[in-house]
Amino acid sequence: MRACFVTGTDTEIGKTLVSSALLHLLGQSGARTLGIKPIASGAVDVEGRLHNEDVDALARHSSLRPNPETLTPYLFKPAAAPHILAEQTGIELDPTLIKTTVQTAAEQADYAIVEGVGGFMLPLGQGRTGVDLAQALQLPVVLVVGLRLGALNHALLTAQAIRASGLNLLGWVANHMAPSMSYAQENLQTLHDYLPGPCLGVIPRLNATTLDDRIQQAAHHLRSPWEEKD
């Protein structure tokens, strides 16, 4: 089983788009794929069960379909920082529990994509951040960089934090966020020059109206993080 941890330079930067697109890409060969988002906030109640858009997208583009509750041990209804919601409900976001959840769920998968929450260093409470979660999982990291003003600083700081945590940067994906960005190609070249690890793809502004169609479009602009090893 091959697995990676997908993080981003910020929240709402395209982690779910990239994670789902990688699942779509890897599943085209007939591989058993599984997307896992252990922590999610922002959900609606549908027939007595909470649904989160990111979690549901990962499930739709996975070939394996375990019980959804086993994939997201921490799912909160309000759309807010998870550590605040956890504190309000008197629970602890436990990286060790998440590690066990991921390992158990991914046992039958050829490829597992684990999507983080927010940016790489989002607080998780108890003095922990997303770094502690990534270190507990001990998975190589795929970094999603949102191409917009400020992207260079955010990308280099995040890559530095990944390296400092002792984790391997498996690769990075650039995702065009702004309708127009001055010197977009020059910024992209700077990322190539400064970021360690290979570029796994550059996703342009996508014109599809539905998330699933955008995911399929994005998959055409990505390559497998394990392509050279497959």
Q: In the chain, what percentage of residues exceed pLDDT 70?
A: 99
CATH of the domain at 60: 3.40.50.300
Cα of first residue to Cα of last residue in the chain, in angstroms, is: 12
Of residues 228, 180, 172, 179, the one with CA closest to residue 202:
172
Q: Please report the sign of the dihedral spanned by the C-alpha atoms of residue 16, residue 199, residue 145, residue 158.
A: positive
Q: 54: annotated binding-site residue?
A: yes
What pLDDT sits at residue 77? 95
Domain that holds residue 93: 2-229
Q: Please report the sign of the dihedral spanned by the C-alpha atoms of residue 195, residue 197, residue 202, residue 203.
A: negative
Q: What parts of the chain have a pLDDT lower than 70?
A: 228-230
* The model's pTM: 0.95
What pLDDT sits at residue 230? 46
Q: 205: annotated binding-site residue?
A: yes
- Active-site annotation holds for 99: no
CB count within 10 Å of CB 209 equals: 7
Catalytic pick among 37, 77, 99, 229: 37
Our count of domains for the chain comes to 1
What pLDDT sits at residue 180? 85
- For 49-64, the pLDDT digits (tens) are 999 999 999 999 999 9
Judge whether 40 and 54 are in contact, CB under 8 Å: yes
Q: 67: annotated binding-site residue?
A: no
- For the chain, the average pLDDT equals 95
Q: 175: annotated binding-site residue?
A: yes
Q: 212: annotated binding-site residue?
A: no
